């Protein structure tokens, strides 16, 4: 797990260990958090986001798509609202799969190989990615 994920998405299994509690009093970590917050406010991204850029981007895109799905107004020309919602559902599902692939979320290494775990996720990504591109291309109008 990258330092960026550890700082912002702490591992729930480490809640009671000493290292997790000490991070509140770690001055360099607090400095990096503040510096990253200022950089995100100024330019939209921070130096700390670059370390694991693909995972960071997948998480941000997934969050943006879920927010867009809940709060969007309108739909693409030539489509009914139901068809557009179906495309958004496919896009959200694809990015959930991509995020799980990049972070190895819910992979039980003891009971299954990486290939059998990742095959359905790759299939979901390949199925929904074209729908995401179609929705993404429609946003500029």
Q: What is the mean pLDDT of each run of 10 residues along the chain (141 residues)?
A: 49 60 77 91 89 87 91 82 91 93 80 87 94 86 58
Which pLDDT value is given to residue 75? 80
Shared domain check, 33 and 84: no
- Domain match, 16 and 35 both: yes
What is the spatial distance between Cα 95 and Cα 20, in angstroms, rounded to a whole number?
29
pLDDT at 14: 53
- Pair (83, 100) in one structural domain: yes
Task: Identify the pLDDT of residue 2.
Answer: 46
Expressed as residue numbers, the domain containing 117 is: 53-141
45 and 81 co-located in one domain: no
The phi and psi torsions of 54 (rounded to 5 degrees) equal -65, -45
Output the pLDDT for position 127.
Answer: 95
Q: Based on the domain organization, do 129 and 93 belong to the same domain? A: yes
47 and 58 within one domain: no
Same domain for 6 and 28, yes or no, is: yes
Task: Looking at the chain, list the stretches that DSSP marks H as alpha helix, in order from N- to C-terminal side.
Answer: 3-8, 18-22, 27-43, 53-71, 81-103, 114-138
Residues 100 and 58 in one domain: yes
Same domain, 68 and 105: yes
Number of domains making up the chain: 2
């Amino acid at each position: 797990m990258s330092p960026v994920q550890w700082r912002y998405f702490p591992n729930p299994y480490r809640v009671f260990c000493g290292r997790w509690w000490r991070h509140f009093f770690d001055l360099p970590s607090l400095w990096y958090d503040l510096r990253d917050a200022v950089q995100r406010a100024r330019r939209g991204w921070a130096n700390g986001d670059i370390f694991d850029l693909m995972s960071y981007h997948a998480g941000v895109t997934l969050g943006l798509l879920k927010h867009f799905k809940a709060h969007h107004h309108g739909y693409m020309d030539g489509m009914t609202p139901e068809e557009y919602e179906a495309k958004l559902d496919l896009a959200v599902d694809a990015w959930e799969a991509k995020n799980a692939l990049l972070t190895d979320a819910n992979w039980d290494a003891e009971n299954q190989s990486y290939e059998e775990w990742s095959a359905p996720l790759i299939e979901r990504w390949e199925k929904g990615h074209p729908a995401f591109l179609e929705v993404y291309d429609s946003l500029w109008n």
